[in-house]
Chains A and B, each alone.
Chain A
Amino acid sequence: MTYGLANGPTMIAAVDQDLICAIATPPGQGGIGVVRISGIGAKKVAETLCAKPLKPRKAVYCEFTHQNERLDDGIALWFPQPHSFTGEEVVELQGHGGPVVQQRLLTALCAAGARIARPGEFSERAFHNGKLDLAQAEGIADLIASTSVAAARAALNTLKGTFSARVNEIKDNLVSLRVQLEAAIDFPDEDIEILEQAGVVEKLRSLAEQLQQTLATADQGRLLNNGIQVALIGSPNVGKSSLLNALVGEDAAIVTDIPGTTRDLLKIDLLINGLPIRLVDTAGIRSGVDKVEQQGVARARAQMTEVDLVLLVVAAPDLQRSQMENLVAEVQNQALAQNLEPPKILIVANKVDLVDQSVHIPAHANVAVSALTGQGLDDLRAAIQKQVGFGQDNAEFTARTRHIEALKIAAVQIFRAQQGIEKGLATELVAEELTHAQHHLGSITGELTADELLGKIFSEFCIGK
C-alpha cells in the first residue's frame, strides 16, 4: 500500500488536530468501557450523542443515543483544551463497555464527524502538545510502530473473503470509470468515446448501487445491529437444544429425547462473556419423513450460511470422524453453492458425561461439553468469544469499522459524481468526486497512483500523435 503519492487528499499524519476517537480501556470485558474523543469539536460531537450540555471536568450522566437508538448509558466527561491527556479538547464517554457497544459508539461518533484514531495517535498528540516528556517519546514511537504492524495484519485479516471480493470489484469498476473520464480529459484528440456513449452514467449508477449493497450487507453491519449469529447444527438427538438451554440457563427450547423435536428455528438473544449473541437452534439434519420436519431441516440448512459461527454439535459417545467431516463439508458446500463466505465452525462434542474421558477424549472436537452436568460450558463460551473475533484484542474489529467508514465516504462521493453527471456538471468536477472516492477506497485496497492510472489509460486506448 502506498500513501500520499496518488491523486486525491494527501496522507493524514501527526500534528493534525482533526477529531479522532478510540476505545481507551483495555480490550476484553471490563466493568467500564471508555471511549475517548480528542480534537477540535470533541465536545460538540459528544453532545450530539449525549443530548445534554457538558460542563468542564464535570461528570454528566446521560444516555448515549444515535439516530434515536439507545446505545448505552454512562458518564460523559469534558476536558477543555489544554488540560487533558492529549492537550487538545477531549471528551470521555464512560459506558458499560463490551466491545460491541463500544464499536457502536465509535460508529456513531464517526457519523458525527470524527475518525477512528490510528494506533498510538492519542499518545502521539499528547507528546506533541508537551504532555509527555522526551524520555517517553521513543517508547511512543515504538508503540506506534508495533501496533501499526498489528493493525495492518488485522486489516489484512478482514480483507479475506467475500467482503474483500466485493470491495475489490467496486474498486475495479471505479478505476475503469476513472480511466474513461481521465482519458477523455487528457486526450481529447484521440477518438475516445464521449462519456454518454461509453455508458458512464449507467456505470456510475450501478457502482452506487453496488456500494450501497455492500454497505448494507457488510458483516460489520450485521454484527453490530443484530448481534453475532451462532447456529446450533447437528444430527437429531445430539443434544443441541439441551446445549442451548444450558447456555441460556432456562428452558427456552423444548427438549425431549424424540429425534426431530425442534422442527422450526428457535432464536434466543443472550450475552456470552459480554458479547451479544443470537443463538439459533435448528432441526436435526436428517432425511425426515414428516413434511413439517422437512421444512425445519431446509431452514436449518439455509441457516448454516447466514450465521457467523456454526456450533456443530455431535454426541461424544458415538463420535465418528467421517460423520463429522460430512457435516463440515455440508456446511461449507452450502455456503459455496450460494457464493458466500463459509461461516466459522466449532465442533462441540456433547454428552461427555456419558463417556470415559480417559479413553475417549474426542480428539476431533474443538470443545467437549456436557449440557447435562454443565461440564465444559465455560470452555465453550470462551471458544465462542474467540471464534467471533474478540479474543485478546479488537484490532480486527476496529480495522473493519475503519473500512466501513471509508466505504461510506466513498459512497457519498460516488453519489455526488452521479448527481453531477445527471445535472450536466463539468467533466472535471465529476472526475474530482471520483478521485476522492478512489482515495477513500484506497485506504482499504491500496492507492492508485497517477502513474498507474495513466498506465491503464495507455494500455486501454491507443494514445499518441
Chain B
Amino acid sequence: MRYPEQFDVLVIGGGHAGTEAAAAAARMGARTLLLTQNIETIGQMSCNPAIGGIGKSHLVAEIDALDGVMARATDQAGIHFRVLNSSKGPAVRAVRAQADRALYKNAVRKILEHQENLSIFQQSVVDLIVEGGRVIGCKTQMELDFYASSVVLTTGTFLGGKIHIGHEQQPGGRAGDAPSNALAKRLRALPFRVGRLKTGTPPRIDGRSVDFSKLEQQPGDEPRPVMSSMGKRQDHPSQTACHITYTNELTHEIIRDNLSRSAMYSGAIEGVGPRYCPSIEDKVVRFAEKTQHQIFIEPEGLTTTELYPNGISTSLPFDVQMAFVRSMSGFEQAHISRPGYAIEYDYFDPRDLTYSLQTKALDGLFFAGPINGTTGYEEAGAQGLLAGINAARKVQDQAFWEPRRDEAYIGVLVDDLINLGTTEPYRMFTSRAEFRLRLRQDNADQRLTPIGSKLGVISSARQRFYEQKMRELAALKKDFAGNCIMPGSDLDQRLSLGLRKETTLLDALRRPEVTVETVSEALGIETSNEQAITVLRQLEIETKYAGYIKRQDDEIAKIRRHETMQIPEQIDYLSIDGLSNELRQKLDQQRPASLARAARIPGMTPAALSVLLIHAKKAASL
C-alpha cells in the first residue's frame, strides 16, 4: 500500500544522525517523516553515556549553532560536566558531559515531537524505491510504501549487524535490537562499495555491587559549563560524580591466558576496529609493558544503579569478563548486568558520496552516520544535520550547503571522508583540522549561525540571541578601542601595565598577562555576570589570536581562489598527457568540481595542479 501523503524528506533511522537530519529538514520547512524500527529507542545512546570531549564538543557546538538537537538535549540530560584542556588554549578547549540515558532520550524525543513539519512512524524499512537513477521512497516491512523527494539513510551499526561475545555470534544492531538485514541485502545490490567495521562495548556493572570507597572519585567542574550557547545551568538535572579504577597485573594475566577465546583474536571478526578505542585485549597485547590501564566509570543515569566502565570494551566470553572485572580494585564483588560485546556492521565507502552527503550513484539519496564509516554520536549528529539540510535544499531546488574545512569541523569531517575514505571507524580529533585555531567552540555561532540563518534552519529565538551577542561584542570592542589608558593612570596601575605612552584598552588586551580575569577585576565586572564575561572572553580571544588568524586567512584566500577555478564537467582526464596515470584515474573517478577540490586528492602535486588548470581553462573555452 502507498502511504497517502507524499513527503519532502524521508529520514530512515532515529539515532543521532537521523534525529538531527529530520529536525533540520523540518526546521527548513520540508514536510519530513522519520521512520524508525522502534520509537522507544529514538535518541538512544548505544555506547557510553557521554556527549562531547575534544573535537567532539566542537561538532556539538556547530550543531548547536545551526539550532540542532544534541547540545540542547545534553543540557536537559547532563548529570556531570567538565571542561577539558582548559589551560591549552581556547581552540582545543572542550566540554564533556555525562548524560542520563533516559533523560537524554526523552529530551530528544520531546524536541522532535514539538517540531513543526515533522512526523514519526514506527516501521522497519526493507528496501528503497528507485526510479531512473533516483530514489523516490522506501518500502517497509508491513508493505507500506512511503514516497518523498529526498531520502536520508541513517542506519548506524544496524546494517548486517553481528554481535560477538567470545565465540558466540548473533545478529544484532545493538544488544537487544534486531539488525537491518533485509535492507542491508538490498543495499548491497546497489552500486555502492561496502566494507565491514567493528566496534565494542564493555560489560556494564551494577553499582550496588561496587565498593566505591576503593575508587577515585571525579566530581564535575565548578563553575559548571553548559553545552548549548543558549543553555542554562538551571536546565541541568541534579549532578553526580564519575569514578576511576585501574586494571592490574592480575587482570592482564587473566586476559592473556584467554586470548584465544576472544572473538577478535580467534579471527572470527573481519571488520576493522578503531586504533583509538582498542579493546582491553588489544591494550594488554599491544602495550604489554604497561602494568595498569585507567578505567573511567560513568554513571548510566540518576535513576539507575548501572555503571559504564569505560576502557574495558571486550569480546571475550562472559566467564572471562567476570573474572577480569572482579580482579580490579572496587569491583571484587561486581555483578555484570550486561556482558560486553564486539559488533560488526556494514558501512559504505564514503568516497562514493559528494560534499552534500548525497550519494554519487543515486540522486536524492543521502547517507549520514556510521553508515559512512564514522563512529560517535557527535560525528553522526553533524552528518545528520548536514544531510537533513541538503535533503531539504534539494526539495527547495536550492544549491547544496557544502561547508569548507576552514569553516567548520563538519567541513573537515565530510572532506576527509569523501576524499580519503576510511579504514577504521572515523572519529574527530582537533589535530585533523589544519585551521584549528579558528574552528573554536566559542565562535561556532559566529562561524555558522549567519549561514544557518540564510539556509533557514535557525529559529527566531536563536537568531535574536545571536544578534544580541554580536551587538554586545561590537559595543565592547568599540568601548575598548576608545578607552585610552594614560601612563600612571588608575587603570594602568590596576592592570599593572607599566605604560610609557597612552594605549587603548583593546591594545592592552593583546598582552598575554592581560586576561579576562584581570580586566574584569580592574573594570569591576562581576564574575557572576556570565553574559558580560562571555563577551569579554570572546573579545580577548579575537584580539590575542588576530595574528594567527590573519596567517590562516591568507592560506584560506588562496584556497578560495582555487575554488573559483571551476573544472568543466566534460573534461577528459584520461587524455591529459602531463598527469601520471594514477592521478588521471583518481581525477576521472572523483571528478572534482574545482581546483581546490582537485588539490585535496591524495598524490596531487603543484605541477599536476598547474597542468590540470591549463587543461580546465582550455576545456572551458571550447
A212 lies within 8 A of chain B by Cβ:
no
Chain B nearest Cβ from A190, distance in angstroms: 8
Given A138-B618, A185-B88, A458-B276, answer yes or no on A15-B283 (Cβ-Cβ < 8 Å): no
Asked whether, in the complex, the Cβ of A426 is within 8 Å of the Cβ of B558, the reply is no
Select A10's contact among B92, B558, B621, beta carbons within 8 Å: B558
- Complex Cα distance, B604 from A9, in Å, reads 15
A201 to B562, CA, bound (A): 39
Q: Which one of B283, B310, B610 contacts A13 once the chains associate, using CB atoms below 8 Å? A: B610
Contact across chains for A428 and B603 when beta carbons are under 8 A apart: no
Residues on B with C-beta less than 8 A from A138 are 614-615, 618
Residue B129 CB within 8 A of the other chain:
no
Proximity string of chain A (173-193) to chain B, C-beta cutoff 8 Å, 1 when within and 0 when not: 000000000101111111100
Asked whether, in the complex, the Cβ of A2 is within 8 Å of the Cβ of B602, the reply is yes
Contact of A3 among B90, B91, B430, B605 (CB under 8 A): B605
Please, which residues of chain A bring their CB within 8 A of the CB of B419? 5
Q: Does A11 contact B (CB under 8 A)?
A: yes
Contact of A4 among B429, B561, B599 (CB under 8 A): B599
Rounded to whole Å, the gap between the CB of B611 and the closest CB of chain A is: 5
Whether A7 contacts B431 in the complex (CB less than 8 A), given A15-B565, A432-B548, comes out as yes
State whether B610 touches A435 (Cβ < 8 A): no
Say if the beta carbon of A424 comes within 8 Å of chain B.
yes
A465 to B199, CA, bound (A): 12
A186 touches B54 (CB 8 A): yes
Chain A, range 1-38, C-beta contacts under 8 Å to B: 1-16
Contact A13 B430 (CB under 8 A): no
Is B606 interfacial (CB-CB < 8 Å)? yes
Q: Which residues of A contact B611 (CB under 8 A)?
A: 141, 144-145
**Residue pair B311, A450 in contact (C-beta under 8 Å):** no
| B283–A186 touching, CB < 8 Å | no
Among candidates B88, B276, B579, residue contacting A464 with C-beta atoms closer than 8 Å = B276
| Complex contacts, A124 vs chain B, CB 8 Å | 610, 613-614
Known contacts A182-B431, A188-B54; is A16 also within 8 Å of B558 by CB? yes
A4, A128, A144: residue with the most chain B Cβ atoms closer than 10 Å: A4
Q: Among the listed B420, B548, B555, B618, which residue makes an inter-chain contact with A429, where contact means beta carbons less than 8 Å apart?
A: B548
- Total contacting residues, chain A, CB less than 8 A: 61
Assess the B617–A137 pair: CB atoms within 8 A: yes
Q: Is the CB of A427 within 8 A of B92?
A: yes
The answer to whether A186 and B595 touch (CB under 8 A), given A7-B434, A11-B609, A145-B578, is: no
Contact assessment for B617 and A465 in the assembled complex, using a CB-CB cutoff below 8 Å? no
> A142 CA to B618 CA in the complex, in Å?
14
Q: Is B294 an interface residue (CB 8 A)?
A: yes
Q: A432-B437, A464-B276 are in contact. Are A189 and B296 (CB under 8 A)?
A: yes
- 1/0 contact trace for A126-158 toward B, CB 8 Å? 011000001001101110111010000000000
Q: Is the CB of B437 within 8 A of A428?
A: yes
- B84 in the interface, Cβ–Cβ < 8 Å? yes
Q: In the complex, which residues of chain B have a beta carbon less than 8 angstroms from the beta carbon of A144? A: 578, 607, 610-611, 614
Can you list, as one digit per residue, whether each of A222-260 has a CB less than 8 Å from chain B (1) or not (0)?
Answer: 000000000000000000000000000000000000000
Q: Are B434 and A186 in contact, with the CB atoms below 8 A?
A: no
A453 to B603, CA, bound (A): 18
Which single member of A7, A15, A458, A464 contacts B311 (CB below 8 Å)? Answer: A464
Cβ-defined contact, B430 with A186, below 8 A:
yes
Interface-forming stretch among A99-107, A114-122, A286-294? A114-122
B610 touches A185 (CB 8 A): no
Stretch of B137-145, B285-293, B488-496 lying at the A interface: B285-293
Task: Return B437 CB to nearest CB of chain A, in Å.
Answer: 6
Known contacts A458-B276, A464-B278, A15 near B54 by CB under 8 Å: no
B577 within 8 A of partner (CB) = yes
A128 to B617, CA, bound (A): 9
CB-defined contacts of B4 to chain A, threshold 8 Å? none
> Which residues of B are found within 8 Å of A3, using beta-carbon distances?
599, 604-606
* B621 x A145 contact (CB < 8 A): no
Please indicate the chain A residues that have their CB under 8 angstroms from the CB of B87 in the complex: 426-427
Among candidates A141, A148, A185, A454, residue contacting B92 with C-beta atoms closer than 8 Å: A185
Q: Which of A5, A13, A128 has the most CB of B within 10 A?
A: A13
Contact B290 A9 (CB under 8 A): no
Return the CB mask of B256-277 against A: 1 if under 8 Å, else 0.
0000000000000000001111
The reply on A111 being an interface residue by CB < 8 A is no
Docked-complex contact B91 and A428, CB < 8 angstroms: yes
- Set A15, A190, A432, A462: member contacting B561, Cβ < 8 A: A15
Given the contacts A450-B432, A462-B286, A119 and B605 also touching, CB distance less than 8 Å = no
| Contact in complex: B609, A13 (CB < 8 Å) | yes
Residues of A within 8 A of B617 (CB): 127-128, 134, 137
Question: Which chain A positions have C-beta within 8 A of B191?
Answer: none
Give, as a whole number of angstroms, the nearest-CB distance from B294 to chain A. 7
Q: Which 7 A-B pairs have the closest CB atoms?
A: A145-B578, A426-B89, A148-B607, A428-B89, A13-B609, A427-B88, A465-B310
Given A2-B603, A140-B614, A146-B578, output 15 extra A-B contacts at Cβ < 8 Å: A5-B602, A7-B434, A10-B558, A124-B610, A128-B617, A138-B614, A138-B618, A145-B611, A182-B431, A185-B431, A188-B54, A188-B84, A190-B294, A455-B275, A462-B286
- Chosen A-B contacts, 24 in total, with CB atoms closer than 8 Å, are A1-B605, A3-B606, A7-B434, A8-B434, A11-B604, A11-B605, A11-B606, A13-B595, A13-B613, A118-B607, A119-B607, A127-B617, A141-B610, A186-B92, A186-B430, A426-B88, A427-B89, A427-B92, A428-B437, A429-B437, A435-B434, A450-B432, A451-B420, A465-B296
